[in-house]
Amino acid sequence: MNKILQDINRAKHIEIEVEEGSLALGSALYSYILTRHKKVSFVCKTKELNLRYSFLPWFEKIRDTNYSSADLNLKIENSCVELFKTLKSLNIKINSKIATALYGSLILETENFTNQKTNGMFFAIASELIESGADYKSCVEYLVKRVTLSELRLKALMLREMTLKESARVAEFKISEDDLKSSGASLENVKSIMQDSLGLEYVQKAVLVNEDNKIIKTIEKEI
């Protein structure tokens, strides 16, 4: 991450390119680059972005095509913790926009502080981000509580087709392209629904298969 910040200092026009699930981290970096008085562009090639991310700073700046004028393209794959620690180590002030975006990224990476990798460090960082002005209430409202009509439709389709196998230790879901199209949902929504099934008492693994019964995704319960 230090090298990325060094590259930013040398560049004139920085383009941040992210996958939809990394929008919060991209927003944090975008906010930081603006404090360096650099020209910056925000790119995500997902055609219809989930509105759960619309609370993020600079969401309205996101475009789905690259900029030919950019002399530095950053494809973000780092974690919010790494960016937070780098900014702190360089004594860079974390303003409210950076704090909000990092808090949102923290929620996504830890599944709202519930997954196995969550420890005291994450809660300490969350506390510092709130002190720096993070709009944590919006982060929770949009990223945890809100659902779209398309997500609910997809959930109904997937639960209807769900079967329990191997003495109820495996929840198997079947999905087709038609299911995604008819619901208007995305594969990102599929993962969330599969994750919910791990809350069943005996289920240890959720499996997604296509129309040919070929496994295309597997999620296992953390122990």
**Considering the chain, what is the average pLDDT of its residues?**
90
pLDDT of residue 223: 62
Which listed CATH number (3.90.1640.10, 3.40.640.10, 3.90.1720.10, 3.30.450.20) goes with 2-145?
A: 3.90.1640.10
Amino acid at 141: E
CATH architecture of the region 149-220: Roll (3.10)
Q: pLDDT (tens digit, 9 = 90+) per residue, 91-121?
A: 999 999 999 999 999 999 998 998 888 999 9
Identify which of 146, 128, 149 has the alpha carbon closest to the alpha carbon of residue 138.
Answer: 146
pLDDT in tens, 165-184: 999 999 999 988 888 888 87
Per the rule left: phi > 0, alpha: psi between -120 and 50, beta: everything else, 203 is: beta
pTM, whole model, 2 decimals? Answer: 0.80
pLDDT digits (tens, 9 = 90+) for 47-86: 888 888 999 999 999 999 999 999 999 988 778 999 999 9
Rg of the chain on CA atoms, in Å: 19
Rounded distance between C-alpha atoms, residue 166 and residue 155, angstroms: 23
Residue 98: per-residue pLDDT: 97
- Nearest residue to 217 (alpha-carbon basis) of 191, 178, 195: 191
199 confidence band (pLDDT: 50, 70, 90): confident
80: nearest Cα among 122, 133, 37, 46 = 122
**Gap between the Cα atoms of 57 and 31, Å rounded:** 8
The residue extents of the domains of the chain are 2-145, 149-220
Q: How far is CA 162 from the centre of its chain?
A: 25
